[in-house]
Chains A and B, each alone.
Chain A
């Protein structure tokens, strides 16, 4: 059971280049998320998906696109990279823990991260 894996681990891009970050999970989780983490800013949600074929915008979606064609994969795309997109990107998938009144709480299992540097 590999959990959540991210590809690549590190990448350097030039301004204007495009790339796709791949997230894969083998836990059959429905929900998946993409975050970016910057110093002093904490984790900020970019996009998320509540199931195969569905995606939604998070807190900072501009400049990114996502796709969830298969349940186990969640792709994050940068069409035209900018230096402001230099960050560490984390993917997560969600699992349910016991919660209040029989309603489970969704908590998240994170991947190891992708470090992206845009020059």
Chain B
């Protein structure tokens, strides 16, 4: 069993929809949770990070962490075609030198 599981999709939604992307994990030592966005033929870039259970908002993006269920989510409100990308979750423990990545979910927002 992988430490981090993420549905690879693909996921296709109409413009303006609310998108929910999710990851589950098995390692209770994970304390930091990140979401990376990767456009086609580009390197991943950090979108958001959090280390607390609950919600963290940044514009149209909300990261949600439920440590008791070992489940994290990224919500995108009012989705735009420019949000079309692969979204990767990543996690690490306290003081860890490495990140553990999910497989990535490929998202397409249709105009």
Query: Which of B11-19, B38-46, B57-65, B72-80 is found at the contact surface with chain A?
Result: B38-46
* Contact yes or no, A110 B51, CB < 8 A: no
Q: Which one of A11-19, A60-68, A69-77, A100-108 is at the B interface?
A: A100-108
B101 touches A105 (CB 8 A): no
In this assembly, does B85 line the interface, its C-beta being within 8 Å of a C-beta of chain A? no
The proximity string for A residues 37-53 relative to B, scoring 1 for CB distances below 8 Å and 0 otherwise, is 00011110100101000
A113 to B94, CA, bound (A): 28
B92 within 8 A of A: yes
Interface residues of B in 74-108 (CB under 8 A from A): 88, 90, 92, 94-99, 101-104
Q: Using Cβ atoms and an 8 Å threshold, which residues of chain B touch A100?
A: 31-32, 51, 94
Alpha-carbon gap, A63 to B99, bound state (A): 22
Q: Would A97 and B49 count as touching, CB distance under 8 A?
A: yes
Prevailing SS type, chain A contact patch: strand
A103/B94 contact (C-beta < 8 A), A43-B44, A90-B43, A113-B41 known = yes
Bound Cα distance from A42 to B5, whole angstroms = 11
What DSSP secondary structure best describes chain B's contact surface?
loop
- Asked if B97 contacts A50 (CB within 8 A), the reply is yes
Assembly CA distance A50 to B97 (angstroms): 8
Residues of chain A within 8 A (CB-CB) of B44 are: 43, 90, 108, 110
Nearest Cβ in chain B — how far from A104, in angstroms?
9
**A43→B23 CA distance, assembly (Å):** 15
Q: Which of B6-41 contact A (CB under 8 A)?
A: 6, 8, 31-32, 34, 41
Tell me whether B31 and A106 are in contact (CB under 8 A).
no
Measured CB to CB, the closest approach of chain B to A25, in angstroms, equals 12
Whole-angstrom distance between the Cβ of B48 and the nearest chain A Cβ: 10
B97–A48 CB distance below 8 A: yes
Given A99-B32, A99-B51, A100-B31, A107 and B99 touching (CB < 8 A)?
yes
